[in-house]
Amino acid sequence: MERKEAEERIRELSRELEEHNHRYYVLAQPIISDLEFDFKLKELEALEKEWPEFASPNSPTQRVGGDITKGFETVAHRYPMLSLSNSYSREEVSEFVARVEKEIGSTIYVMELKYDGVAISLSYADGELMRGVTRGDGEKGDEITANVRTVRSIPLKLRGDFPKELEARGEILFMRAQFDKLNAERAKNGEELYANPRNTAAGSLKQQDPKDVAKRGLDNFIYTLQGEHLPTKSHYGNIMAARTWGFKTPDPSRRFIERANNVEGIMAFIDHWDKARHKLEMDIDGIVIKVDDLRIQEELGLTAKSPRWAIAYKFQAEQAATRLNDVVCQVGRTGAITPVAELEPVLLAGTTVKRASLHNADQIAKLDLHIGDTVLVEKGGEIIPKIVGVVIERRSKDASMVLFPQVCPECGTELIRLEGEAQHYCPNEHLCPPQITGRIEHFVGRRMMAIDGLGGETVQELVNARLIGNVADLYELKKEQLLELGKGWGEKSAQQVIAGIEASKKIPFEQVLFAIGIRHVGETVAKKIARGAGSMQRLAAMTPEELVQLDEVGPVIAESIVDFFAVQGNRDIVDRLRQHGLRMELDPSEVVVAGDKLKGLTFVVSGVFRNFSRDGIKETIERNGGKVSGSISSKTSYVLAGADMGPAKRTKAEELKGTRHR
């Protein structure tokens, strides 16, 4: 075969196979036999092997898996992948609708099935799949593109009139029939059965050999699009457009997605699927309700963790009855005491449950727990087991009441309970063993200092060997000390840890702040505080009144920061980390301050801009000393209104006296 002829044949076969793949896995309307499909695929594989220069990364041959991936690169999401606020009652759904309509008036809502799978973000450029990334922490996730290509319902090339760039977000999952088939094969081979479809899907996507992933037969549904040039301002309209581009999306003909203009319509959808969900070919754990208009979504904005324009209604969790054998108390890295119920093993929602969280002393008292009780267990959000009740009539007359401890179960220190908080704490933060290891494990984690080679077991080993007693001790470790530990430690593993510790000195200040483990200061809040305070030294000297002026900092977080730096041991550790070269202030190259011309002014940026991106405008405001807010209030100085600004936000801006509207 001549070169030109080979190139044309490869293109022709690729087009044919993608069409047949779409018909089989998305439309469920095949027009050729499996044998014919396999013959065409083998021909394409042979041609690509002979003419590799014509093989595309998105060739249909990649559906069966490519080269082995050694580890997954962490990449940032262009648009954050936020979690949804969960609701377990219809009253909360009604309250959500009331809040939305109080702010923007009547509107259209979209209801969809909440698939029980693994969230994925798919990036396309010029219609070609470029990257597949897991949710991760919402801001960055693992790139698993090679594994994503093996999911046959995910298009490698789009069809029709699609935007030049877009992100499609959805859920990768197992259909029940495919999951049952996998377990039947494992049973036949005498292997342990997979517990449930969701966990198996998550584990499948993290396998390093895409060929193994391809054998699993995963599926996918797309539930939203992100991009600057989407075809409509309607979420529903965009999902229908995505359907024409080759994506597998919720099917309106099967009531997988519907629209309503009031709470009654939303409830009718919930009622239908609360009964019909067990007949579906895949698992769902609830219903998602979204505002349909993208402009109104922007007006409503986001909280630190979730969008204000959407809510998830979770179906009633499955329950099981079992025996309470004991209650033990665990000590977390911040000293929080969490009681855990030890249960007689019971099968619940596809997994065997042996333990359940009791949260705090109040929960134990409320349930009036006794050892030996028959308790009712369910999975909160169908994930975390919890005790929701006791079968009192089955209680033995001589059963002993569960009493919450007065002292730390690990170090014997008297427990404290801060005013307004539900949990008890052990205040012995620098000598209580679980707090020592917990703080170090938190510190070395991927989203914190990202120190290679240091996991939970390794940290515990180093603590037991008295090589480290706090996070600052890590920076005084020597390779020779690790080698002397013996079993499991070789030249390569020891050098990996030492190199990882050294590399962590380049981690940005905001991650260092998150890593040191101040109570209530999570990843998002740490970024805001780092930007507002500028340095660890300034943060340590700030008063509660000054702290609450920082973005995302309220009285509780402010008090926690002050309390942290009031402890001499914490100040000593921070000083040692500084001496070892960790970054204790913002790098000027990361936050370039152009001036303070906008100091004291608060801006709201809304709508679409022709020559500038919204993020670019916001960054410029902050660099010049201004503050950017997501909502209009009496404190708003200016509103920058682009095209398609929501009408409610515009009306509110014009109504507020003292707001200068541009």
408-439 exposure pattern, b = at least 16 Cβ within 10 A, e = fewer: bbbbebebeeeeeeebbbbebbbebebbbbbb
114 an active-site residue? Answer: yes
| CB neighbours of residue 185 within 10 Å | 10
Between helix 263-276 and helix 90-104 the angle, nearest 10°, is 150
The arrangement of strands across the sheet holding 627-629 comes to 627-629, 602-606, 638-641, 660-661
Of 4, 70, 114, 597, which is the active-site residue?
114
Between helix 568-579 and helix 555-566 the angle, nearest 10°, is 80
The answer to whether the CB of 523 falls within 8 A of the CB of 447 is yes
Amino acid present at 545? E
Query: Residue 623 and residue 626: Cα distance in Å, rounded?
Result: 7
Q: Which residue has the tokens 């597949």?
A: 132
The answer to whether the CB of 49 falls within 8 A of the CB of 106 is no
Helix ranges (DSSP H) in 220-302: 235-244, 263-276, 294-300
Residue 379 CB burial class (10 angstroms; 0-12, 13-18, ≥19): buried
Give CA separation, 601 vs 181, 220, 605, 638, in Å: 61, 46, 13, 8
Query: Residue 216 and residue 120: Cα distance in Å, rounded?
Result: 17
Query: Residue 9 and residue 44: Cα distance in Å, rounded?
Result: 8
Query: Residue 451 and residue 504: Cα distance in Å, rounded?
Result: 6
Query: Residue 300 and residue 289: Cα distance in Å, rounded?
Result: 14
Give CA separation, 445 vs 139, 513, 517, 564, 624, in Å: 16, 13, 12, 21, 34
Q: Which residues are catalytic?
A: 114
